[in-house]
Chain A
């Protein structure tokens, strides 16, 4: 299978940037930590075979466990793909646990009193404990701490993170495992295995652990800080790159086009206006889908007319509502009115005003252009009759046109609202 390598820098991986087969622990098929799944995927072996192999290897002085712990510690976790990983199914652990138990039993029956075997087991326990601790200081987790706790010392991170309890639990659990393992090794090799020396061993081990923690803490903290600054730098760099890309793709392109078309005033205006609109959107507005919101749909229609006919549409929309079939028809009629104004009025600017009221939506399209004699509309201007008046009538609305030669034209479209499609804010207004 191919796994899209998602570059954390934010650039989209292209087809040429094919996935390298990196070894990692997938989140979606794990039983414990996903080591077996990762290995299986990397080696191209069936997952079940890898799991069974690991369990059987348990028999060889706990080699399976040792391997597992080592891989767990070293392999990075798969970068989250966005979808939440399936929850671990601990039930699936049961058969492997049973097999493992069987193997271990068999082994103890065959090689009784094997000192080397016991030591191997203990080392495996140490490795698992270390793996758990190491896992807690996974770089991504360190980054998270750095984000949420910019000032607190490293140890405070332990108790202030949201999943601090599980962290503490695992940290202490890991520590206990390591300590137990060490003590076990000491106990096995101790010439006289009495209780006091074991107790002393425990105390020594705990003190040793604490010492290591104290010594390592400042170092770790410095490392976290470094990680955090790196991360911030990367974010800044990313923003800069995005801005540069936008300017390059759009603004420079438009400027080049303007230079090439400098003789054609209409074309220059069209280019400049289009670029202005897109920059404005980029700077000020969260883009709404033009199929969902009335205002966005109208603005989109106005933008299309601006682009096609090289005019300026002064768009003012008061209030907003959701787009349904009837509202879409209103927008289409408004667009037709804009097109008519652009084609026939002979002016540079057309005003588009829309207001969402409690009981109706109204749209006004107005120009100060040539105007026309209304009595001549029937025959010569089919667009007005069919696309504007007819369309509004079909959807329960009205269209009124006011015009006279030389006095410009105003098209007024109204559509009574269906109550349920109103936005909450305007529901009971006025």
Chain B
């Protein structure tokens, strides 16, 4: 995936960091410096909302757990007024309710904080391009949530079910395959893989499946 990073569009991406841990922000800033421009950082929800509006970055790296409502509050405040800003959730938590809650609030991807700098840069690039980023665990959650259960009626087949291809792509993601490897495995182009994942993201955000709303509702904010 390394070749997909860097200066595809002839300019460096602008990234904004939202995290209440200064040490973590400094670490990410240092790691990403080679790949993107970090144009600002914030440690609280209010600070993030005002500074993101002022700087207008391509991508916001958003911590899930913060005081005053966490990443969810930032998303709720920014989504309507700044639809061009893309959000990538970044968290130490692997809990389903955190992940699904953020995605449904509008984040275009989710990665854990243990991700390598190169992978994080690739994820930022992907989100900036309008695609989605799924960690293996998120792919697993989605497969779990969309597992067809006979007792649950499907209200909207277009939104509430995954196609076989989408399922295959998610399985490979969960098995640790990169997009390029998935494309090779399924004999499709990387662009097609990205389309499948974006479709899954849309379903994840729009579907009213019980499991999804339950996870989103259960979401705890620490």
Contacts and interface: CB of A to CB of B under 8 A. Distances in A.
A272 to B, nearest CB: 10
B26 interface: no
Given A314-B176, A353-B136, 17 more contacts: A284-B93, A284-B95, A316-B136, A316-B137, A316-B175, A317-B140, A318-B140, A318-B143, A318-B174, A351-B136, A351-B176, A353-B140, A355-B171, A425-B147, A428-B150, A429-B147, A430-B148
Interface string B163-188: 00000000100111100000000000
A349 B177 CA distance: 12
Nearest to A428: B150
A364 interface: yes
Interface in B61-88: none
Contacts of B129: none
Interface residues of B, number: 19
A353 B149 contact: no
Nearest to B93: A284
Interface string A398-430: 000000000000100000000000000110111
Interface string A299-319: 000000000000010101111
A425 B149 contact: yes
A314 B136 contact: yes
A425 B93 CA distance: 26
A316 B140 contact: yes
Given A316-B139, A317-B140, A319-B147, A353 B94 contact: no
Interface of B: 93-95, 114, 136-137, 139-140, 143-144, 147-150, 171, 174-177
16 contacts: A312-B114, A314-B136, A316-B137, A316-B140, A316-B174, A317-B140, A318-B144, A319-B147, A349-B176, A355-B174, A366-B175, A410-B175, A425-B149, A426-B147, A428-B150, A429-B150
Contacts of A260: none
Interface string A341-375: 00000000101010100000000101010000000
A122 B177 CA distance: 88
A407 B11 CA distance: 33
A353 B93 contact: no
A366 B176 contact: yes
Mostly, the B contact residues are loop
A364 B140 CA distance: 13
Contacts of A349: 176
B78 to A, nearest CB: 28
Contacts of B137: 314, 316
Contacts of A317: 140
Nearest to B222: A283
A405 B193 CA distance: 26
B140 A429 contact: no
B143 A355 contact: yes
A25 B136 CA distance: 59
Residue with the highest number of chain B CB atoms closer than 10 Å, among A314, A316, A349, A366: A316
A280 interface: yes
Given A280-B94, A284-B93, A353-B175, A429 B148 contact: yes
A407 B175 CA distance: 15
